[in-house]
Structure 1
């Protein structure tokens, strides 16, 4: 019986075909068993991969689930030329994703698990750091347009926006009215606007 060369291990570096099979298996296990029934063992069986391979590439169940989440996440970040509209659109799109997709459900579960599981907390912290820089780019664009004072820390503003979003996620208030989101964004903007 010959070995499938496309799926042969290449050590610590990810074999793209094997990684894809594992991610597809993880998505399928989530659909079939839900978050509560998700396990690395089930993913390994379905992907025909070894658990050590999965753990070498994703150090925890949470890390694998976060990659599944990122892979499925589709949140448009508007570039309207206006900071208020960009932030309102971004928050509306984010809330809609968290509220209306299975990926959003996975993320809510990961956030909950991170409260009592150190591996989940570490994975979520790494993810949040990356998202912080991504959201900060919205502020940097506004700086470049002259809407925001040059000395504003874009990452700190991104944290303020994220704290508003995460509060809504954690309290399951993802159907916030646009007028409330817009008012919140205006309060943030008033503190960073160029006078």
Structure 2
């Protein structure tokens, strides 16, 4: 079998070699042309692939961009230090610095912006966010199994808080938070904001 045959589409299922070639081409186009110059046509030319093949595997430009984004984000992992606070702090610090120091932050901002006016982009982003929500919630579920977090806590709610903190910092250009600020935010997520004993005090009010 020739290399071209090996890279040929095999129906709706992705051919790994073809998919990798397309992703590499997409990453190169994005790095050279930026988001404004990024298009399925440009990727198809660079990868020597047909547009129908790309659209069969990635139904929108945003879906392809999300896969490129995830390729660049491979080093951002969910730590397992044995402390839920430390896990959250390390994850957030790594994510913010990755967005700040690599093109990934700009890519993700572009996807979020596109999702506001493009239905397919919104669907791609929603699917990505659902997957990440489950993975982030896994840190909290793991802490529950250790007995560090109460069983009444919904890990997905905490995942939403973590994502909200990260996304708001990305979208408002606040990626230079100090270690102390990130840790303080993590403690609020874990401990809340109500002062101990305030509930009993509130019960005495008329």
After TM superposition, is the score higher than 0.5?
A: yes
> Any conservation in 1 of the 2:21–2:47 contact (CA below 8 Å)?
yes
Residue 119 of structure 1 and its aligned partner are, at CA, apart by: 1.6
Residues 137-168 of structure 1: CA distance to partner in whole angstroms, max 9, x if unpaired?
11011111111101211011100111111111
Task: Extract structure 1 runs of 4+ deviating beyond 3 A.
Answer: none
C-alpha separation in 2, matches of 1:172 and 1:120: 22
Q: Label 1:3 to 1:76 Cα distance change in 2 as closer, same or farther (>3 A).
A: closer
Match of 1:26 in 2: 26
CA RMSD between the two structures:
1.4
C-alpha separation in 1, matches of 2:79 and 2:21: 32
> Any conservation in 2 of the 1:30–1:38 contact (CA below 8 Å)?
yes
Residue 3 of structure 1 and its aligned partner are, at CA, apart by: 8.4
- 1:92 aligned onto 2:93: yes
- 1:13 aligned onto 2:48: no
Residue 23 of structure 1 and its aligned partner are, at CA, apart by: 0.6
> Any conservation in 2 of the 1:133–1:155 contact (CA below 8 Å)?
yes
- 1:53 aligned onto 2:53: yes
> Any conservation in 2 of the 1:91–1:181 contact (CA below 8 Å)?
yes
Match of 1:182 in 2: 183
Moved more, 116-125 or 55-64: 116-125
- Secondary structure of the equivalent of 1:79? coil
- Secondary structure of the equivalent of 2:152? coil
Residues 52-99 of structure 1: CA distance to partner in whole angstroms, max 9, x if unpaired?
110000000000000011111021322111111110111000101111
C-alpha separation in 2, matches of 1:37 and 1:95: 25
Aligned length: 190
Structure 1, unpaired ranges of 5+: none
> Any conservation in 1 of the 2:105–2:170 contact (CA below 8 Å)?
no
Residues 9-39 of structure 1: CA distance to partner in whole angstroms, max 9, x if unpaired?
2111111111111111101111111111000
C-alpha separation in 2, matches of 1:64 and 1:176: 30
Structure 2, unpaired ranges of 5+: 193-206
